[in-house]
Structure 1
Amino acid sequence: MLRSRFARCAVVPATALAISIATPAVAEARPSAPASLAAPFRLVKIPGANGDKLDGATWIHQDGRPRPAIVLPSPWTQVGWHTYAVMATKYALAGYNVIAYSARGFGSSEGEVDAGGPLDVKDGSKALDYLIAHAPGRTTKVGFAGLSYGSGLSQLIAAHDSRVDAVAALSTWGDLGESFYENHTRHLGSVRALQTVAGNARLSAGTRQAFDDILTNRNIPRALAWAKQRSPQTYIKQLNKRRVPVLYGQAWHETLFPSNQSLKTFNSLTGPKRIDLSIGDHAGPEMTGMGGLPNHVTNDAKRWFDRFLKGERNGIDTEGQVNSQVMWKYWPWLRETRPNWGAFTERTQRLNLAAPEGKGADGGLSPAPSTGWRMGFTSGKDTTASAAGSVVFLAGYKEMVGLPKTYRTNTISRENAAVWTSTPVEATTRLRGAPKLRLTYTPTTAQSTIFAHLFDVDANGKAHIITHAPFTSLDGRPGRSVTADISLQAAAYDVPKGHRLMLAVDTKDTLYGDANGAGGTIAVSSPKARPSYLEVPTG
């Protein structure tokens, strides 16, 4: 079921649309290289690394004029290059020569899935070689673009191949290790989703080993070393040396590659850059664009290439580096631009965690300092506080059509969680950035995992999730306190007047593995030396 949902939402196998050029959306294109209908669509076999043949297609103009080129490595799906059939046609009609290919091990491509390893990097260069060799005119500049898996491949190839002049990386990752192992917590939902969506793709032994290591909590350093080789963050110096222009697309409630690790890489880039942050989950914000419908992310990707491959002064590089949709009140039309990520947060408000005022009451979130208290709960049991629910991607996709997951705060077990709630906000609170939680707690087990969930709660106790993060302590001792400094995933969320912020901390979440044993307890405290508090970024 997960595979079919993802395939419907994340890929568009519309080959017929690719061959047809009668789409009204492309009439707006005004390329500097003259558009021509003489860009025949051809199925091709591309000689890849180690002699493996890659399944693909080309749209190459035959007029002999110098033209820019775009290479499209496929997402993580057996549909392969067909995902880009419509988008590639639109690029061709805008004057680009285009090649799209299925990454090794997927679809009809030979070889085994290298998950962004050296063979995938070589394949990208080989695909570019093929396009240049078969274009009758000179190739002027080169862009790589991709959705999901193809986005990571595009960045990695650009870091290793100096011919790449610009990148559009949609629903991407920057640090694969952090995606799989955030704050020493295994992201089981991410790995399981990749296994499921891969279907019968031929995963390499190294890829299977890394996935198994994460799932079984075995030899994590080996898995992280594997992931590091496949992370654009590792090659940031190469990208910055050439100042490669990079556009990112990311969903606020991304569950496959959570946004903070991508933001870390984005903020490390020193060349021209832009990030589009949207409501939804992995590959959701771009899905209509893959089918040729109006879409702000895929439209920005085209504008990015028109600017840096054709030299058009279209404003994409002067509008601001950060372009975001805002949850929830103004869904989905309100978009904000900021000159850079540093300007996204204008100020920070500290809300101290306070003890409950009465028996059975929640603790408070207060501007006033509050220390010297303890709140205990049982660990090892799940509650209704969760990052996204039991089905990866589904909650985020529903957000995109105005149906965010609803939580009833009275169903969160206070026996198995600690909860703190603010007073009603006096005016709309514009949360912008990554909230930070300092939490001092004492577990009865040597290893412990906690999950922090931040909610927006209305007067009736109905809540929507704003953000979350996991944290695991692996080197503690029973009865010894732990001070956790946790950066929750970044968000752009307007908390309406009269609503409350609620922080719920428990020890289970279906997206993650945990280190908690059964029958333990956790006592949250706020000593003077290490007080517990939540920092809320606003802007």
Structure 2
Amino acid sequence: MTEDTLAEPAAAGPVETVVETVTTARGPTMIFEKDVPVPVGDGLVLRANVFRPDREGRFPVVMAHGLYGKDVHFADGFAPQWERLNTLHPDLFTTGTSGRFLRWETVDPEVWVPDGFVVIQVDSRGSGKSPGYLDPRSPREIQDYHDAIEWAGTQPWSNGKVGLIGISYYAFTQWAVAALQPRHLAAIVPWEGFLDYYRDAYRHGGIFSNGFTTAWWPRQVLVNQHGNGETRYRDRDTGRPNTGPALPAAMLEGNRTDYVGEFLRHPLRDAWYRERAPDPARITVPLLSAGNWGGPGLHLRGNIDGFLGAASAQKWLSVHDGTHFESFYLPDYVALQKRFFDRFLKGERNGFDDEPRVRLSIRSPHGAVRRDEHEFPLARTRWTRMHLDAASRALTPEPPSVESAVSYDAQGDGVDFSTAPFETETEITGFVSARLWVASSTTDMDMFAVLRAFAPDGSEVVFDGAHEKTPPSRGWLRASHRRLDPARSRPWRPVHAHEAIEPLTPGEPVAVDVEIWPTSLVLPKGYRLVLTLMGRDFEYPGVPGRMRHDHPQDRGGPEFAGTCTILTGGARDSALLLPVIPPR
């Protein structure tokens, strides 16, 4: 289809359900019901695609509910990711599937239905073929998800058990709807998706994370808004827009929230954020939570917190490496997902209960290996302090006896603190934090803490992250948000309250605790660990960061353009706390 063709909105008639029998690449046929009506509690009707086995019986349901378009092919909506994934794994979508029904961040029906699952993909309110007010991840959208689960659990082809699975958006909404405890919800698989709306995704350490947000809203959401007749997306089955009948521009604008504006209007973790943050203690169904070490800023913290906080008696944590869109589709991980659902949706006694509760990819400069564990953080962790010395720019096992300070331009390259070369191979896996004494020439100070590693020849250890090249880990804190939540904080895991803004007095030192996101890294003998402290986003040359924090309304004031100072030694002992793991 040419660009000229895409520029002309195609006509779209009333939405009607279409039924087709499809022969899958594996041989068995499946029933494909397109645009099935799904009623929700306030009378609105959402639209879903339903894929089910072409045989008699009642089957468990595997569901995703979101706004990326149930009729938008992966390759059409996310072409760069599609090309990268096919480059990394050229046989991934040519074995056992025709690829016709592949959608971004959701399961492939052709891979799942032959194994006795019903796959349902729902356009959330205000997106795709589903009318209504577009307000991503809002309480109303999550209630719709609840209602869709209950609908699916009572259909004649359903065994009454619904499982949820999907990446990112489709993961956060799982956490949220599971906390509502729908009666027919039986298990969830949130894959690389945040939990805490404020801390995990949009206000890292109190700093607005706009780089992803401001691009995501028009590029991935508005393009798929229900009634958008100018969408570039076309349903490959019909050639029509995937967004239903076109609506006037003024109506489209009135049918959606001011997404970016809402974040700017809510700098603190107020009621608006709290009603969008699920309480994991209300989650009781079996869960398999999968995070990505290379996902600081969106796709790691929530998976760990969800696992730790859920009240589920049967819960597992898997943390992998690689790209954001890679692991979910790899055969070994798909087999894991199916075994989990076979156990908790079909009731098969397949030994999944005996699976290790924690499975981690242990990264090194030379690759990663999978390792089974029993808990997180690891019980055998040796919490190890490395003290900052401003005079020598070193990280040392013993605190410096002499007080010193180092200053840097808030908009400059910051300052590095380095360990000596490690004398033996050293593993660091788990939570990381830094207790720092800081001062600013202004009334505030944004801290960007970057955990880095270097080989003996000076080359830097860089990992393939969820979306881009990435260092071992990162952390963020706005100094005026330094007050902790004492009930949730631990020495290795500071949790900030974000309930008040407490300006700094220029030139006056204060102690702050910086949360650096969990990591896993094996440093060979001779390698060094470096803590880089900056007043702006860390980026590799030629690799613009995706999770940026540079919105002018949030960081454009003079308070973020002054001189920052790190104080060390004596009564102002600044230190990095590391989770060192001894060999078994």
Aligned to 1:211: 260
State the Cα distance separating 1:110 from its structure 2 match.
Answer: 1.9
Cα distance change on mapping 1:53 and 1:118 into 2, 3 Å = same
1:342 equivalenced with 2:333 (yes/no): no
State the Cα distance separating 1:38 from its structure 2 match.
Answer: 5.5
State the Cα distance separating 1:331 from its structure 2 match.
Answer: 2.3
Cα distance change on mapping 1:534 and 1:112 into 2, 3 Å = same
Aligned to 2:123: 102
Alpha carbons 1:174, 1:265 under 8 Å: kept: yes
- What residue identity is the alignment partner of 1:452? A
Match of 1:127 among 133, 148, 153: 148
Gap runs ≥5 in structure 1: 1-17, 25-36, 358-362, 384-416
**Greater CA deviation, 302-311 or 151-160?**
151-160
State the Cα distance separating 1:325 from its structure 2 match.
Answer: 1.4
Match of 2:433 among 429, 436, 455: 436
Aligned to 2:267: 220
Aligned to 2:340: 304
Match of 1:59 among 51, 57, 80: 51
Cα distance change on mapping 1:307 and 1:63 into 2, 3 Å = same
Match of 2:363 among 319, 327, 337: 327
1:189 equivalenced with 2:211 (yes/no): yes
CA RMSD of aligned residues (A): 2.8
Write out aligned runs for 1:34-183 (5 A).
37=28, 39-49=30-40, 50-61=42-53, 63-74=55-66, 76=68, 79=72, 83=103, 87-136=108-157, 139-160=159-180, 161-178=182-199, 179-183=201-205
Aligned to 1:466: 472
Cα distance change on mapping 1:229 and 1:204 into 2, 3 Å = farther
Cα distance change on mapping 1:304 and 1:207 into 2, 3 Å = farther
Aligned to 2:515: 487
* In 1: Cα distance, 2:66 partner to 2:102 partner: 8
Match of 2:319 among 266, 272, 277: 277
State the Cα distance separating 1:498 from its structure 2 match.
Answer: 0.7
* In 2: Cα distance, 1:309 partner to 1:432 partner: 33
1:21 equivalenced with 2:24 (yes/no): yes
* In 2: Cα distance, 1:516 partner to 1:205 partner: 35
**Greater CA deviation, 494-503 or 180-189?**
180-189
* In 2: Cα distance, 1:93 partner to 1:314 partner: 19
* In 2: Cα distance, 1:66 partner to 1:209 partner: 42
Match of 1:355 among 349, 371, 390: 390
* In 1: Cα distance, 2:325 partner to 2:332 partner: 13
State the Cα distance separating 1:276 from its structure 2 match.
Answer: 1.7
State the Cα distance separating 1:133 from its structure 2 match.
Answer: 5.0
- What residue identity is the alignment partner of 2:220? V
State the Cα distance separating 1:122 from its structure 2 match.
Answer: 3.2
State the Cα distance separating 1:345 from its structure 2 match.
Answer: 5.8
* In 2: Cα distance, 1:188 partner to 1:440 partner: 28
- What residue identity is the alignment partner of 2:145? G
1:456 equivalenced with 2:434 (yes/no): no
- What residue identity is the alignment partner of 2:57? R
Cα distance change on mapping 1:450 and 1:59 into 2, 3 Å = same
* In 2: Cα distance, 1:336 partner to 1:327 partner: 10
Match of 1:368 among 398, 409, 412: 398
Aligned to 1:445: 442
Percent identity reads 21
Cα distance change on mapping 1:38 and 1:130 into 2, 3 Å = farther
* In 2: Cα distance, 1:519 partner to 1:51 partner: 51
- TM-score, L = length of structure 1: 0.77
Partner secondary structure for residue 312 of structure 1: coil
Write out aligned runs for 1:512-523 (5 A).
512-513=549-550, 514=555, 517=559, 520-523=562-565
**Greater CA deviation, 473-482 or 365-374?**
365-374
Partner secondary structure for residue 129 of structure 2: coil
**Greater CA deviation, 50-59 or 345-354?**
50-59
Match of 1:499 among 523, 527, 534: 527
Alpha carbons 1:88, 1:100 under 8 Å: kept: no
* In 1: Cα distance, 2:253 partner to 2:286 partner: 31
Alpha carbons 2:386, 2:396 under 8 Å: kept: yes
Alpha carbons 1:451, 1:506 under 8 Å: kept: yes
* In 2: Cα distance, 1:518 partner to 1:42 partner: 54
* In 1: Cα distance, 2:43 partner to 2:300 partner: 36
* In 2: Cα distance, 1:459 partner to 1:204 partner: 56
Match of 1:262 among 300, 303, 315: 303
Alpha carbons 1:19, 1:89 under 8 Å: kept: no
Aligned to 1:237: 281
Q: How many residues align?
A: 456
| CA offset digits 1:158-180 (Å, max 9, x no partner) | 22212201011112111111121
* In 1: Cα distance, 2:364 partner to 2:418 partner: 19
Aligned to 1:525: 567
* In 1: Cα distance, 2:187 partner to 2:373 partner: 22
Partner secondary structure for residue 450 of structure 1: strand
* In 1: Cα distance, 2:120 partner to 2:299 partner: 29
Alpha carbons 1:41, 1:60 under 8 Å: kept: yes
State the Cα distance separating 1:67 from its structure 2 match.
Answer: 2.6
- What residue identity is the alignment partner of 1:21? T
- What residue identity is the alignment partner of 1:194? W
* In 1: Cα distance, 2:297 partner to 2:128 partner: 22
* In 1: Cα distance, 2:326 partner to 2:568 partner: 40
State the Cα distance separating 1:516 from its structure 2 match.
Answer: 5.9
- What residue identity is the alignment partner of 1:197? Q
Cα distance change on mapping 1:224 and 1:170 into 2, 3 Å = farther
| CA offset digits 1:487-532 (Å, max 9, x no partner) | 2110111112111011111101161144664652122112533410
Cα distance change on mapping 1:199 and 1:461 into 2, 3 Å = farther
Match of 1:318 among 315, 333, 354: 354
* In 2: Cα distance, 1:318 partner to 1:449 partner: 45
- TM-score, L = length of structure 2: 0.72
**Greater CA deviation, 454-463 or 368-377?**
368-377
* In 1: Cα distance, 2:372 partner to 2:358 partner: 5
| CA offset digits 1:463-487 (Å, max 9, x no partner) | 1321110111122111111211112
- What residue identity is the alignment partner of 1:313? R
- What residue identity is the alignment partner of 2:143? K
* In 2: Cα distance, 1:71 partner to 1:86 partner: 9
| CA offset digits 1:434-481 (Å, max 9, x no partner) | 221111011111111111111111122221321110111122111111
| CA offset digits 1:174-231 (Å, max 9, x no partner) | 11111211222221223224323224243987974452243xx43324x753332222
Partner secondary structure for residue 447 of structure 1: coil
State the Cα distance separating 1:354 from its structure 2 match.
Answer: 1.5
Cα distance change on mapping 1:439 and 1:319 into 2, 3 Å = same
State the Cα distance separating 1:282 from its structure 2 match.
Answer: 3.6
1:247 equivalenced with 2:288 (yes/no): yes
* In 1: Cα distance, 2:204 partner to 2:254 partner: 24
State the Cα distance separating 1:312 from its structure 2 match.
Answer: 2.4
Aligned to 1:391: none
Alpha carbons 1:377, 1:522 under 8 Å: kept: yes
